Amino acid sequence: MQTLALFLYVLLSMRYCVASFFLLILVHSFWGCSSQDKKLRGVAQHYLDATSRYDVPDACRYCTEETADGLRMLDTTIMRIVDSDYIKRNMPAKVKINGVDMVNDSMAVVSYHKHTPISDFDGELNMVQRNGRWMANVKINIPSFMKQSHVEYKYDSVPKLMKGEGDDSIAQ
């Protein structure tokens, strides 16, 4: 009888030990997820705040290189002709993150609400994790003629007649 009681005691002790072990793993994974969630939300908030202020250099700190290239392109082309009074009337912008949907361990979609004196906007921001760092990943569609004129334009493409080669009567 004593042996049976000892066996039951050991069995119950092991059960609590195993349950405690699984509880510890569950708590650790919950804390790990919340830490990742905080990092992801922080990066998204910084990026959204910077773009809301039209602060391209600051926004580029929180996004992929492809997104940064697109932002710089917009900053050096389209933003130069945008009405600065409109931008001033559209400030300050307040951005609130509503939620995070994890696609997988390195991709997420952040839903947010942006309020400005002029309008309200609900949007989504794609986030990717590269080398352990969360970054905004936005596909910025720039018309091909702008890409060519901004990036691929070279003096070699100037017509030869303008360089003084070819027909001498036009070059003079």
**Contact 96/116 with Cβ under 8 angstroms?**
no
Assess if residue 172 is contained within a domain: no
CB count, 10 Å around CB of 24?
Answer: 10
Reported residue count of the chain is 172
pLDDT digits (tens, 9 = 90+) for 94-117: 999 999 999 999 999 999 999 999
46: domain CATH number is 3.10.450.50
Amino acid found at 26: L
142/149 Cα distance (integer angstroms): 12
Assess if residue 38 is contained within a domain: yes
At 111, phi and psi to the nearest 5?
Answer: -95, 140
Domain that holds residue 74: 2-144
Could you tell me the pLDDT band of residue 144, with boundaries at 50, 70 and 90?
low
Mean pLDDT value of segment 134-161: 58
Assess if residue 163 is contained within a domain: no
Predicted local distance difference test score (pLDDT) of residue 97: 96
Report the number of secondary-structure helices (H) and strands (E) in the chain. 6, 4
Predicted local distance difference test score (pLDDT) of residue 1: 64
